[in-house]
Amino acid sequence: KIVSVEKHPNADKLHVCKVDDGGVAKNVERDANGYVQIVCGAPDVQKDWLVGWLAPGASVPGFYEQEVFTLQAKELRGEISYGMMGTPKELGVSNDESGLLVIDSREFNDEVKPGMLFAELLQLNDVIIEVENKMFTHRPDCFGILGVARELAGIQDLAFASPEWYVKKPEFESLEKNRLAAELRNEATSLAPRVMLVPMDGVKVGPSPLWMQSCLSRVGIRPINNIVDITNYVMYLTAQPMHAFDYDKLAAHSKEGVVLGPRMAQEGEQLTLLGSKQVTLSKDDIVLATDQVAVDIAGVMGGEATEVDEDTKAILLTCCSFDMYTVRRMTMRHGIFTDAATRNTKGQPPAQIDRVLAYAMRLMNEFAHAQQAGDVQDDYKKPIEPHYIEVTSKFINERLGSKLTDEKIVEMLKNVEFEAHVASGPISVTPPFWRTDIEIPEDIVEEVGRLYGFNRLPLSLPKRDITPVQPDPLLVLKNDIRQYLAQAGANEILSYSFVHGDLIKKAGQDPKRAFAIRNALSPDLQYYRISLLPSLLDKVRPNIKAGYDEFTLFEIGKTHQKYPDDKPGDLPEEDNVLEMVYTSKESKQGAAYYHMLRQVDMLLTKLGIEYVLEKPEQSFLKEPKKRIQAELPFDVERTAYIRYKNTDQGGYIGCVGELESSVLNAFKLPEYTAAARLALDGASFQAENRSAEGSYKPLSKYP
pLDDT on residue 518? 83
HSE of 196, CA atoms in CB hemisphere, 13 A: 21
pLDDT on residue 617? 67
pLDDT on residue 628? 41
C-alpha 386/C-alpha 527 separation (Å) is 45
**pLDDT of 232 higher than 90:** yes
pLDDT on residue 620? 47
For 28-51, the pLDDT digits (tens) are 999 999 999 999 989 889 999 999
**pLDDT of 686 higher than 80:** no
For 536-564, the pLDDT digits (tens) are 999 999 999 999 999 999 999 999 888 77
For 259-276, the pLDDT digits (tens) are 999 999 999 999 999 888
Confidence band of 464 (pLDDT split at 50, 70, 90): confident
pTM of the model: 0.69
Weakest mean pLDDT among 42-56, 87-101, 614-628: 614-628
Weakest mean pLDDT among 191-200, 252-261, 572-581, 620-629: 620-629
pLDDT on residue 424? 81
Residue type (1 letter), 151: E
Confidence band of 618 (pLDDT split at 50, 70, 90): low
Beta bridge partners of 303: 273
C-alpha 678/C-alpha 632 separation (Å) is 12
**pLDDT of 625 higher than 50:** no
C-alpha 305/C-alpha 292 separation (Å) is 13
pLDDT on residue 557? 94
pLDDT on residue 622? 45
Confidence band of 667 (pLDDT split at 50, 70, 90): very high
> What sign does the CA torsion over 664, 667, 668, 669 have?
negative
171-197 average pLDDT score: 92
For 572-595, the pLDDT digits (tens) are 888 899 999 999 998 888 899 999
DSSP track, 537-549: HHTHHHHHHTT--
Helix or strand or coil: residue 677?
Answer: strand
C-alpha 36/C-alpha 56 separation (Å) is 11
**pLDDT of 646 higher than 50:** yes
Output Rg (C-alpha) for the chain, integer angstroms: 33
Select from 462, 432, 460 the least CA-distant residue to 447.
Answer: 432
Maximum distance among all alpha carbons in the chain? 111
For 493-505, the pLDDT digits (tens) are 999 999 999 999 9
pLDDT on residue 383? 87
Question: What percent of the chain shows pLDDT beyond 90?
Answer: 63
Beta bridge partners of 497: none
pLDDT on residue 459? 87
464-491 average pLDDT score: 90
Burial class (CB in 10 A: 0-12, 13-18, 19+), 551: middle
